[in-house]
Amino acid sequence: MTGIVLLIALAALLFYGVAIYNRLVALANRYRNAFAQIEVQLKRRHELIPNLVETAKAYMRHERETLEAVTVARNQAISGLQSASARPGDASAMAALADGEQALGAALGRLNLVMEAYPGLQASGNMRELSEELTSTENRVAFARQAFNDAVMRYNTYKQSFPPVVLAPSFGHKEDAALLTFDDSEAIQQAPQVAF
């Protein structure tokens, strides 16, 4: 009789361990999927920027340095995105992504200031459309980032609670996932203000 009770208790513990493992996997997959949504929007943003630069080049012949800075910042942001895509939730990858996006946001801000001096550029229908697309994409990135951070919080909260905190490392969930934050910058947190 004692053996049967012991077997039932062991089976219950085994099933409970399996449930914890499955929940950790599901939560990790959710935050990775949420990051994939950020990746889609950032790629869209990065693809719009060359069009913006090319449109501006026709009007801003004397602003080559500003346009080159935007291109360099875009390339840095793409590199950060590639690093983060390979390791979503990794603290160093999220920091590289945030740094790249902050640099890109600053470069775009300088471009927007310079563009104000070119009325022909401001009146360009193509430029207005690109600016609207960029603003829309910035809003989508903000929503996707919020969903990612929410998924990371759910994963970390569950992983840090008891008893998962005891079992998670043995299931391969050693590190907490990192939030994607943009410190001291309006890059992505607030859509750029473009006045035409």
Whether residue 67 lies inside any domain: the answer is yes
pTM: 0.76
Q: What is the DSSP letter of 172?
A: T
The type of residue at 156 is N
pLDDT tens across 122-155, in order?
A: 667 777 888 888 889 989 999 999 999 999 999 9
Secondary structure of residue 50 in the 3-state scheme: helix
Q: Using an 8 Å Cβ cutoff, are 80 and 94 in contact?
A: no
Q: How many structural domains is the chain composed of?
A: 1
> Is position 33 within any domain?
yes
Mind listing the pLDDT tens digit for each residue in 166-178?
999 999 998 999 9
Q: What is the CATH number of the domain that holds 106?
A: 1.20.1440.20
Instruction: Tell me the pLDDT tens digit for each residue of 49-73.
Output: 998 888 887 777 667 788 889 999 9
Q: What does the pLDDT read at residue 140?
A: 92
- Tell whether 186 is covered by a domain: no
More confident residue, 137 or 185: 137
pLDDT at position 183, please? Answer: 64
**Residues 27, 155, 144, 79, CA torsion sign:** negative
182: in domain: no
Residue 181 lies in a domain: no
Residue 128 lies in a domain: yes
* 162 within a domain of the structure (yes/no): yes
Q: Is residue 124 part of a domain?
A: yes
CA distance 80 to 73: 11
Domain of residue 67 covers 2-171
